[in-house]
Chain A
Amino acid sequence: MSAPTIWIIVPMLIAVLLLAVSSPRVLSLVGGSIAVVLALLAEFIPIEQALTIGAFSIKIDSSLSILGRVLLLRPEEGSLLAMIYGAAALWFFGTEAARTKARLVPLGLIITALMVASIAVEPFLFAALFIEMAILLSIPLLTSLYKAPSRGVIRFLIYQTLAMPFILLSGWLLEGVEASPGDLALAAQSASMLGLGFAFLLAIFPLYNWIPMLMEEVSPFTVGFLLWILPTSTLIFGTGFLDQYSWLRSSPQLKIALQSAGTLMLVTGGLWAAFQRHIGRIMAYGAIAETGFALLALSLDARLGIPILFILIPARALGLAVWSLALTVIKENAESMRFSSVRGILRTLPFASVGVILASFSTAGFPLLAGFPARLALWDGLARVSIGSALWMGLGLIGLLISSFRMLAVFSMADEYTGWEVREDWIQGIMLGLAMIGLMILGLFPQFVQYLLPNLPAMFERLGQ
């Protein structure tokens, strides 16, 4: 048995079987449980080490060869797999509460497995193909057979697909750079291609306009899942690139590019969020800012930046899960997600309203919530490098906070003597309640995540040292 079989092929096979199941509750429970089991296995079963249980001895190989290509999941990547499948479980369990399309579970499981494959595949060139497959598979989640695809979906497909040729082209050029390291022009060309590819994949400013459009047009829960899995896996994949090429890693331009892109994402995400009057679009800009935080982390000294990148991941997963589930509940109960339609809903949908507020505050780095420790560490790290960058980050945070306050004000502005009631059903209440407690626990005790962290930087042989 090999690790890629367990964490890539088996989930895909199970997902194909699950496509035949029609009950949303069964899908949610089975899909969520499988994801949890995969996460637990990843965390507790060591790769490339013999595990003896009585007379039996099992050893999980780290690689699997398919058609001359290798899928390689190293022992240090166990915690990352645990995080990815653990976060996927949040969405799969939430499907029932969100009353969203049941096919999110099987398709989501396949997308997750494909994104894991994109991190695992060697040569890395093939990662672009896995990512493209995942993007194509996400289209059925975002569209319906009975309706023409919306503009947001088309734009999502265009921008994400445009990434593939750039990455493939950069891979081809990089081979040339390896053959003749002194050719600076070739290196510059390959870096530009690579940068453009990742700019499309990560939806770097100004290529992110599909995100708010999707949030307006499609179920927030589904978009939330995509906004978690696609950028997270891409970031890990991209960091692998940096790790692999020393000329790229040591380039001063790269640091500047990462810092500029991260700052632009954060500041524009924060400021745009502050002016929105649609709660779905605010989440979109929050997710954009999240990617900005990750890019800023990568722009720091790797010894500091890589651990920050990894502590950003659980907070992002939990925050987006709560936010997207809560928005879905609100969308189900309100006319639209515009401010005029959700005024005063704190008194009728308290769990969903508080969920949206806490998740948005967490993204803005409000103390006590999951996003705070990572943002504090990032802000501190940036301030030590340049107070100007820290100031820009502060501006982005202010924008995100303003959007949170505006939502809070709108949600709480009920007419006089409106009674308090709970319109969410018990599953929604429990799911949102537990997730909100999770946000608080991660915010107060970030050392809980530390359990997952120690080995993760070792994934990157050179950056993580």
Chain B
Amino acid sequence: MFIFITAGLLLLTAIVLLVLRFTSPDFRYAWLIAAGGGLLAWISVFIWQTGIPAIVQFPLWQPEALFRQSPLFVVDGIAWTFALSLTTLCLAVIVTAVARPNFPYSLSWIGILILTALGVLAVTADNPLTLVLLWAAIDLGELVAQLRLVEGPKMSERVVIAFGSRATGILILLWANMVSASNGFEMDFLSAPPQAGLYLILAAGLRLGVLPLHLPYASESSIRRGFGTGLRMVSAGSSLVLLARIPSGSVESPLTPFLTIFVSFAALYAGWMWLRSPDELSGRPYWVLGFGSLAVSAALRANPIGATAWSSALILSGGALFLASAQNKWVSRALYFGAWGISALPFSLTATGWVNERQSLWFAIPLLLLAQAMLVAGFIRQNQRASRATFEDQPIWAKNVYPIGIAFLLMTIFILGFFGWDGTLKLGNWLAALIASLLTFGLLWLTPRLRLLNPVRAHWVRPSTSSWLDLSYRSLWDLYRALGRISNTFSNVIEGESGVMWTLLFLALFITIFIQRTP
């Protein structure tokens, strides 16, 4: 029941804010209500620890003969980790809102509260049906928010394409269900058959933009820092939870090595682009892609705990960096703690990230380590940049409150390293972490010395991705148009003057084919 308390608190706060927005637009304490609701929800997640593990059943879908699954939720260590990460991010977005130029803007708090509530429910989903429903809700929510925010046909088209790619992830998850059904299994996350395991990874990879490599939001600086960060992270978190749910025996396939190689290159590409991105907001899609790839690779190596660790790091460390918009030397120093969170060093949040259950996939590790080093180096470089806004125009209370939001995220990184789930207090693969750390320092040392590693200027970052990707997508588009022409020709024939005769001819043809096929 604790799941619903957390989600309920978030939704209730959103409703109160919505009512206030319509009834008293000048109400002065809306931010306090939002922050209070966020804080209570954050605290309520800790209460989950008193009843782990637990299962909560929603009303059954009927008739039961037709619907073999009904919405079902589970509270376990993985769900708790994700839920804590998401509620912390929500709280941080609201608390740091005091430093935004558009403060107070209750609509974005309402949005993030609702999205987080859906995200919390998604990360506790115990079967594909529940996850599919919540993915759809999050995607629709994100679609509405994006369509309200973006301007211009090109941007709108991009939003729809991003929605389409995530919806394809939903379709693939459903297909995994069908593959299980055809083998006589009832698919749940505890017993996904081997035939379905790769589809689960593909579904999560597609939603993250890893498989096939694509950037749903290549250019998103127009989206606000606070709400935009929440939007990206909740969406990513709800997709990543699937990776943490895949049983280790379900990803054994001849295709696994190829997927691992592909994912490693996606991680390298994202790490490289992140390292050279002009600022953290321009690089945000690559951050999500990079850590998403690391999480997918962990799942392919039968390491769901590692996938959870990379996912939480994506949300928490990323959230801290993206929300830190105002110049504050203490915040800048504290953010190095975020870098520790993604270092995979012993007792850090990501300590389990390099545990390799499937030794046969060793060949991908060097590429992935390099990718991690680039992501960490990029994190440190972005933190060191001096282009953040100053506090000059902010009231004194805002100056004091804003760092608390960042502190919540950093504190949670610390907490998750030591408490509450299966990935705590782990030494992990310290050798791999050490190599990644050395590579990170090497990259940081080389950055000012090698022009190749310098950040590209903002206008050099094209909204679309690299040309070979453009080419492949253009080929697909050409194929689509060619098929469209064929379909139009066929329609014109059977709808034209002689259409009735053509139709009867086709009918005779199909009957002939059918008669030949039947015994």
Contacts and interface: CB of A to CB of B under 8 A. Distances in A.
Contacts of B63: 307, 450, 453
Interface stretch (B32-40, B164-172, B266-274, B376-384): B164-172
A10 interface: no
B140 A368 contact: yes
A113 interface: no
Contact of B65 (A158, A307, A373, A446): A307
A346 B147 contact: yes
Contact of A155 (B147, B179, B480, B499): B499
A57 to B, nearest CB: 34
B167 A401 contact: yes
B135 to A, nearest CB: 7
Contacts of A409: 156-157, 160-161
B365 interface: no
B426 to A, nearest CB: 36
Interface in A126-172: 151, 155, 158
A150 to B, nearest CB: 12
Contact of B66 (A275, A311, A368, A414): A311
Contact of A383 (B129, B157, B181): B181
A408 B163 CA distance: 10
Interface in B162-201: 163-164, 167, 170-171, 174-175, 177-179, 181-182, 184
A199 B504 CA distance: 12
Contacts of B177: 380
| Interface range on chain A (Cβ under 8 Å from partner) | 35 or more
Interface in A194-215: 199, 205-207, 209, 212-213
Given A367-B136, A409-B156, A304 B66 contact: yes
Interface in A313-368: 343-344, 346, 366-368
B156 A413 contact: yes
Interface in A204-233: 205-207, 209, 212-213
Nearest to A369: B136
A271 interface: yes
B171 A275 contact: no
B487 A415 contact: no
A384 interface: yes
Nearest to B151: A416
A209 B179 contact: no
A412 B517 contact: no
A37 interface: no
A373 B152 contact: no
A206 B178 contact: no
A383 B187 CA distance: 13
B489 to A, nearest CB: 11
B156 A445 contact: no
Interface in B466-512: 480, 483-484, 487-488, 491, 494-495, 499-500, 503, 506-507, 510
A376 B152 contact: no
B160 A383 contact: no
B102 interface: no
A405 B163 contact: yes
A205 B151 CA distance: 42
A274 B484 CA distance: 8
Nearest to A368: B136
Interface stretch (B54-62, B253-261, B396-404, B432-440): B54-62
B133 A368 contact: yes
Nearest to B156: A412
Contacts of B491: 209, 212, 272
Contact of B68 (A151, A264, A380, A397): A380
A377 interface: yes
Nearest to B490: A272
Nearest to A401: B167
Given A275-B487, A446-B67, A383 B518 contact: no
Contact of B182 (A207, A367, A390, A398): A390
B395 interface: no
> What 3 A-B pairs come out closest when comparing CB atoms?
A367-B136, A413-B153, A275-B484
24 contacts: A199-B507, A206-B506, A209-B503, A260-B514, A275-B483, A275-B487, A304-B65, A308-B66, A367-B133, A368-B140, A373-B61, A373-B67, A377-B66, A379-B174, A384-B182, A387-B178, A394-B171, A401-B167, A405-B164, A408-B163, A412-B156, A412-B160, A413-B157, A447-B59
Interface of A: 151, 155, 158, 199, 205-207, 209, 212-213, 252-253, 256-257, 260, 264, 271-272, 274-275, 303-304, 307-308, 311, 343-344, 346, 366-368, 373, 376-377, 379-381, 383-384, 386-387, 390, 394, 397-398, 401, 405, 408-409, 412-417, 444-447, 450, 453
Given A199-B507, A368-B136, A415-B152, 6 more contacts: A272-B487, A405-B160, A409-B160, A412-B160, A445-B59, A450-B63
